[in-house]
């Protein structure tokens, strides 16, 4: 098996990203990428030597200091000062797996040859990635406007022997890690600090992480929702393809088809039903889950475009002999996508909690709160409270971040995206969905016990068997927090076929 991924100019897709991340592939620059990086740097050095006029970010100050010309002998100090002064992150630390994705995406963006960095700078970032040297980055500090300035400054500090990193699960200084590997610090040349700090890799890395996780949770919502449908003695008619072909939203059709496939061979779904309709949380799964799937597809497209883009500033175009200062670092496309993702995933949690509520309500010959001796036992009364609490929290987190803007840099940066706040809020929501679905699975599996000896489909029975090997049926009251944690762990570790996630 080839454990190497070449950084070239083929488009990165989510399947490739998933493979790189999940299999621990190492990175290597392609010959084409090396040539583009080196040619761009040579062009920039020549341009500075032959041009005395100010070029933003190369021989000027930054932000509202853009009109201050810097002497050539101070250009290296200018770039180091930029990295150090912008490392103003606060709050909790960004999870290490997301920081590693930031490294990957920064390497990818710099490899296109429009940023003017040295080859050795990119190769050092690759060294960090391949050796699992993970810079300490903080969640707070980015406005998602001139790129993710503060987070990317912390990502870049170890290049110059500053900041902190994790190596083999221990935190150490940037200076110490250079000594350990016998590396010299990178002497940043003109434009390099700005190339490292301008960019959307903080937001993009969160986007990659959340899209991959949300796609898996979307599948699990269909599966767990189907278990709940069976436990509630629901009807199959709402999943008939004839309904969905006359309202042909892609996500809706896909959800109905998947649920019908899950139900193939089920005794429960085939038995006689006294009721003629089910509550919306069961009957409308194709419409609700499907709408969230379609929203995810939109967000996936936005992030796919972003991770294959150059997002620093200014941009260098050798063939056109142009250095252009623009706004590719602005996070507005991502900010809107994070808000859409947040709303879409919140709805997955909202409908899941309603199914849990129905299961514990003592309807359709299920015991109240899904326990044999209600009264003496409270059973599954309070997990529904927990799910309801989290659903309400998600509603608060889903308030759009992108509608906000605060003027910064003395008025030069007068509109910002707040996409970084959108990213961290979206992560809290998606993590919450995992918990809400775990609570539904705990309830659905408990309820299905009371349907025996009638069984669900062979596929769902095999899933339940695996689940029951880790989380047993609850006979009498126990500490359900532990059962919820075990169920969350089960969802995190279960393997799903890649085709099911991306198909």
Q: Which residues does the annotation mark as catalytic? A: 56
CA separation for the pair 233, 46 (Å, rounded): 74
CA separation for the pair 87, 99 (Å, rounded): 15
Closest listed residue to residue 75, CA positions, set 87, 50, 51, 58: 58
Closest listed residue to residue 50, CA positions, set 39, 59, 37, 61: 59
Token pair in block for residue 283: 């009957």
Closest listed residue to residue 146, CA positions, set 59, 57, 55, 63: 63
Alpha-carbon radius of gyration of the chain: 26
Q: Are strands 322-324 and 164-167 parallel, antiparallel or unpaired?
A: unpaired
Q: Are strands 134-135 and 138-140 parallel, antiparallel or unpaired?
A: unpaired
Closest listed residue to residue 329, CA positions, set 300, 348, 306, 345: 306
Closest listed residue to residue 221, CA positions, set 177, 281, 151: 281
SS (H, E, C) 39-65: HHHHHHHHHHHHCCCCCCCCCECCHHH
CA separation for the pair 426, 14 (Å, rounded): 18
CA separation for the pair 401, 428 (Å, rounded): 14
Helix residue ranges, H only, 232-331: 241-245, 250-262, 267-270, 280-283, 285-307
Sequence-ordered list of residues with C-beta below 8 angstroms from that of 470, at least 6 positions apart, any chain: 486, 489, 490
């Amino acid at each position: 098996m080839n454990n190497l991924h070449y950084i070239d100019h083929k488009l990165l897709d989510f399947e490739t990203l998933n493979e790189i991340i999940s299999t621990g592939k190492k990175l290597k620059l392609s010959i084409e990428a090396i040539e583009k990086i080196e040619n761009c740097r040579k062009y920039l050095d020549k341009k500075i030597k032959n041009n005395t006029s100010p070029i933003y970010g190369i021989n000027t100050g930054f932000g509202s200091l853009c009109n201050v010309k810097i002497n050539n002998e101070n250009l290296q100090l200018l770039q180091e000062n930029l990295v150090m002064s912008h490392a103003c992150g606060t709050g909790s630390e960004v999870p290490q797996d997301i920081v590693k994705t930031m490294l990957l995406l920064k390497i990818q963006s710099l490899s296109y040859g429009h940023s003017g960095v040295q080859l050795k700078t990119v190769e050092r970032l690759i060294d960090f990635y391949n050796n699992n040297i993970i810079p300490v980055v903080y969640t707070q500090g980015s406005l998602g406007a001139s790129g993710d300035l503060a987070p990317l400054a912390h990502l870049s500090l170890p290049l110059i022997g500053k900041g902190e990193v994790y190596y083999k699960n221990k935190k150490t200084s940037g200076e110490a890690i250079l000594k350990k590997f016998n590396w010299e610090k990178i002497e940043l040349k003109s434009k390099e600090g700005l190339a490292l700090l301008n960019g959307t890799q903080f937001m993009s890395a969160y986007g990659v992480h959340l899209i991959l996780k949300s796609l898996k949770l979307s599948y699990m919502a269909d599966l767990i929702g189907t278990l709940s449908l069976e436990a509630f003695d629901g009807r199959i008619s709402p999943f008939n393809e004839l309904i969905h072909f006359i309202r042909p939203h892609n996500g809706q059709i896909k959800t109905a088809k998947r649920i019908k496939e899950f139900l193939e061979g089920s005794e429960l779904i085939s038995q006689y039903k006294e009721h003629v309709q089910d509550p919306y949380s069961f009957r409308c799964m194709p419409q609700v889950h499907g709408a969230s799937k379609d929203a995810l597809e939109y967000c996936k497209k936005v992030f796919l475009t972003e991770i294959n883009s150059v997002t620093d500033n200014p941009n260098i175009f050798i063939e056109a002999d142009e250095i252009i200062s623009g706004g590719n670092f602005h996070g507005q496309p991502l900010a809107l996508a994070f808000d859409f993702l947040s709303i879409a995933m919140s709805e997955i949690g909202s409908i899941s909690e309603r199914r849990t509520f129905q299961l514990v309500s003592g309807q359709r010959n299920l015991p109240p709160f899904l326990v044999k001796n209600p009264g003496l036992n409270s059973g599954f009364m309070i997990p529904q409270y927990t799910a309801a609490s989290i659903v309400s929290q998600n509603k608060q987190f889903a308030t759009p971040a992108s509608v906000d803007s605060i003027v910064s840099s003395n008025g030069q940066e007068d509109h910002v995206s707040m996409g970084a706040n959108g990213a961290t809020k979206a992560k809290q929501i998606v993590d919450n969905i995992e918990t809400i679905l775990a609570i539904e699975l705990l309830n659905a599996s408990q309820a299905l016990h009371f349907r025996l000896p009638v069984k669900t489909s062979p596929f769902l029975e095999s899933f339940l068997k695996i689940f029951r090997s880790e989380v047993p049926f609850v006979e009498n009251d126990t500490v359900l927090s532990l059962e919820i944690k075990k169920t969350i762990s089960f969802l995190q570790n279960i393997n799903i076929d890649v085709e099911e996630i991306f198909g």
